[in-house]
Structure 1
């Protein structure tokens, strides 16, 4: 991604601050996994969004004050002794040129923070994320308050930066869309590989391995979240990640997996038969979820919202569950009661971006100050993922028990509707069975 993209993002955020204010954003820090080993480093999403800098323990200071630089980065110094063990550091000198901002050593954090805070009208930061930074800033604000007779000026407001950065991140720019399109393609092909590899006697973790292998082969070295590979009754556990059971003929397997590419997530769910052929009950329930997904996707366009999308899916699910005898009653009342939520136990979707459950408000102030649904606008990316889960013991005929189905795609809102970024992986019954037939043909 070009540095000019990050410069433009910083400028946009600075313009959203109160006049004469400062925003401070912290990088992530490395997390210990066991003794002297760490988890793979993953940058704080906001810090990455505004800098493209992928080192830990850094700080970004942004301001619209005329007497201070608009953007300052504090980062680790070059250190050959540390770099030979833990990897290269950019260092302040190279960072200034590479990232197109002023850069300083972390050793200068205290005086630079005090300089930025002193005389600012408000200080913006993530109030719930970094208690040490919050404590440092509030301490400096108190000190400035005590020194007002000496000409120091303490800010009068401490403001949460998260809603402002979230609103900006909610609308993806063209560089983000290109990355997310590629992440969707990689993830779709990984799901195809899992379908092709699947057969009775193999294990859930082997399907996961196929998926992760394909991610890594295509420059997406990490999944966007822990992959879910749930066969049989395991599919009824929404966040099942043990992925340890043997795949059995007659069962469905539900896979929810997506790669992370340059920080951006894909998020795809597919459900298919272990042995490559849907049973009549599986096919009926699967087609119902697929019809609900198509109805929900059709509702994704500018001016629509998650409530309308969910209503479209719930209408189809309720009609279908009633027709199958899984729900009983009068259709309109069942719809009003949201009776399908007994088996459709999660939401219809979520925002997608640098976080798999990305930032962005789902409700906004309405014309009468009451909360209203956030309307879709071009540039938003979201998931659509209806599902049905009928665990053993449910008040249905036993033939439906332990069936779990979820179908999820990633949609980009466009000026005339939407584009499906993950359509490459099959979801029609015939297409899935044809794809799997080669592997599951005993001849």
Structure 2
């Protein structure tokens, strides 16, 4: 890992919060992700399953966390099962976690080598009545691949069919959506790395630079600041490419007079940041570009103020839609007839602003959180309105990451990243 070791007290607290919500005499099991093959002997870089990381801090493949708070013996209450390290692995791959290092990382005292998992589980199943299985129920999830977690659930049901079943996900959706202060610090670190990358770009961008050269500048800055890289596939969309919401080819030349919509951000210690900025290739916005940009910025600023405890996500988006409608009328993109005759299921403003304004973020860029429940203090959200005008050859999105506060306006984790037209122009022409 490139990041500094996280204090294990965070993971101890996370497990305590989870086990406090488990039913009596129950067991919860969490598996790491697979290492996914590409072809021949090639694999994709390993990315840890966020749930086992949230509960243990273990960032290693072939790992299992077992929680059994009502176990009859102390050594069975929390167990980490790890792939046993040896001299051969140390030479070819680098040493894996030892039992001592696993404890330092996670605070879990009982560490057992993975080959003894089934034997240990058989004993534990004899003591317990219920198992919590860990399914992915995120509202955006669409998974075609059978994961290690899914294979385990299938195996467990075949071998222990008499046990009751509960789901871990509803507990984790609530727990992971409300961040501990240590988590907010980690997200802040990811935002700070993102800021460094963005500032680097402002002096680099000029007419005829390519989108992929911009991508290269970012990854350079991210990695040199202990990030593994991008928190998500980067969007570097010049000109009309900005009107493709998930444009990721990043292979075009940036032309004088055009804008570049950047939706790019760093991760740090598996925690995400999520930034959008739109900058002028030539270092100056045209009057029309500036007018649209400032309209988006006003929507972002007003939307941010509404992210307060008790706010309902669905109602919040309706209110943001009203603000955006007013701005689009001011820009001449809508007229009163468009609004009067709009379809309530697809309001007129959706022609130019077709995506949502905010989503939870944290360990995942689109993080866990139950959208039908009111917002709470220490939830972290994006705020990312946009206006997309294919007929005029540009689109603008501006996005920050904010923490909901118990009172007052949300705290902007990206407060130091340039966003005003004048500051961006000044830095690009310094």
TM over 0.5: yes
Q: Tell me the distance in 1 between the aligned counterparts of 2:420 and 2:383.
A: 16
Residues 1:268 and 2:268 are matched in the alignment: no
Secondary structure of the 2:356 match is: coil
Instruction: Return closer, same or farther for 1:206/1:97 CA change in 2, 3 Å cut-off.
Output: closer
Which residue of structure 1 aligns with residue 123 of structure 2? 115
Instruction: From the superposition, tell whether residues 194 and 261 of structure 1 become closer, same or farther in structure 2 (CA, over 3 Å).
Output: same
| Post-superposition offset of 1:231 | 0.1
1:292–1:312 CA contact under 8 A, matched in 2 = no
Correspondent of 1:428 among 414, 420, 423? 420
RMSD of the TM alignment (CA)?
1.8
Divergent runs of 4+, >4 A: none
Match of 2:216 in 1: 209
Separation in structure 1 between the aligned mates of residue 291 and residue 323 of structure 2, nearest angstrom: 13
The reply to whether residue 136 of structure 1 matches residue 155 of structure 2 is yes
**8 Å contact from structure 1 (residues 295, 312) kept in 2:** no
> 1:336 deviation in Å?
7.6
C-alpha deviations, 1:20-46, integer Å up to 9, x for none?
100000011212234223222111101
| Residue 281, structure 1, aligned to residue 266, structure 2 | no
* Residue 133 of structure 2 corresponds to residue 125 of structure 1: yes
**Which one has a bigger Cα radius of gyration?**
1
Structure 1 CA distance, aligned partners of 2:263 and 2:154?
A: 39
1:339 & 1:113 partners in 2: Cα distance? 57
Contact 2:329/2:335 (CA < 8 Å) preserved in 1? yes
In 1, Cα distance between equivalents of 2:156 and 2:126: 11
Q: How does 1:287-306 map to 2 (within 5 A)?
A: 287-306=294-313
* Per-residue CA distance 1:326-374 (angstroms, 9 max, x = gap): 11225863788321011111101100100000011101xxxxxxxxxx2
Cα deviation for residue 93 of structure 1 reads 5.6
Relative distance call for 1:247 and 1:97 in structure 2 (3 A) is closer
- In structure 2, the partner of 1:398 is none
Please tell me whether residue 188 in structure 1 is matched to residue 195 in structure 2: yes
Specify the alignment match of 1:375 in structure 2.
374
Aligned to 2:406: 415
Aligned length: 408
- For 1:86-235, list aligned pairs within 5 A: 86-92=93-99, 94-96=101-103, 99-101=106-108, 102-127=110-135, 129=147, 130-142=149-161, 154-155=162-163, 157-235=164-242
Using structure 2 for the length normalisation, give the TM-score: 0.90
Indicate the residue corresponding to 2:66 in structure 1: 61
Unaligned runs of 5+ residues in structure 2 are 1-5, 137-146
The offset of 1:313, in angstroms, is 2.7
* Contact in 2 for aligned 1:318/1:331 (Cα 8 Å): no
Distance in 2 between the 1:423 and 1:20 partners?
47
Query: What whole-Å deviation, never above 9, does each CA across 1:366-415 have from its counterpart, x for those lacking one?
Result: xxxxxxxx2221110010000111224xxxxxxxx222100000001112
State the partner residue of 2:141: none
Contact 1:314–1:335 (8 Å) recurs in 2: no
Question: Are the aligned partners of 2:362 and 2:380 in contact in 1 as well (CA < 8 Å)?
Answer: yes
Q: Aligned equivalents of 1:66 and 1:82: distance in 2?
A: 34
Unaligned runs of 5+ residues in structure 1 are 143-153, 364-373, 393-400, 439-443
TM-superposed CA distance for 1:305, in Å, is: 3.3
The equivalences for 1:35-54 within 5 A come to 35-54=40-59
**TM-score, normalised with respect to structure 1:** 0.88
Structure 1, 33-42 or 261-270: larger mean CA deviation: 33-42
